[in-house]
Amino acid sequence: DTAVSQTPKYLVTQMGNDKSIKCEQNLGHDTMYWYKQDSKKFLKIMFSYNNKELIINETVPNRFSPKSPDKAHLNLHINSLELGDSAVYFCASSQSQARRWVTFGSGTRLTVV
C-alpha cells in the first residue's frame, strides 16, 4: 500500500490553464505538506496543514491554493499557469507531536508549455 500517493505523476499543460494535483496519505498523520522542487533539486516548502488547518503558507503566488477536505487529503490547485511553475511538486506528511520524519509522495512533474 502506498503511504503518500499523489496524482497525476506527469502533467503537461499550456500557459493560462488551471490544474489540480491530488494527494492522499494513509499513515494517520496529522500534518501534510506541499513542496516544490526546481531543476537544481532545491526543495522549497509551499504549504503545511495540520488537522486541516493551514499553518505554513510561504511566499507563494495567490494562484496556488491548497485545499484540505480532511486530514488525509491535501490537494493543490493552480490557476493561470505560468512557465515558471514548471517543476516537480511533492506532497508529504508527518506526525507533528513526535517530530518524526516526513514521508514523501513520488512527485508530480508539471510542465507548462
C-beta closer to another protein: residue 15 or 54: 54
Residue 99 near another protein by CB under 8 A: yes
Residue 90 near another protein by CB under 8 A: yes
C-beta closer to another protein: residue 15 or 43: 43
* Cα–Cα distance measured from residue 44 to residue 59, given in angstroms and rounded to the nearest whole number: 10
* Cα–Cα distance measured from residue 43 to residue 37, given in angstroms and rounded to the nearest whole number: 5
Q: What is the CA radius of gyration of the chain?
A: 13
Residue 39 near another protein by CB under 8 A: no
* Cα–Cα distance measured from residue 76 to residue 44, given in angstroms and rounded to the nearest whole number: 15
Name the residues that contact another protein, by CB under 8 A.
4, 31, 33, 41-43, 45, 48, 50, 55-56, 90, 92, 94-97, 99-107
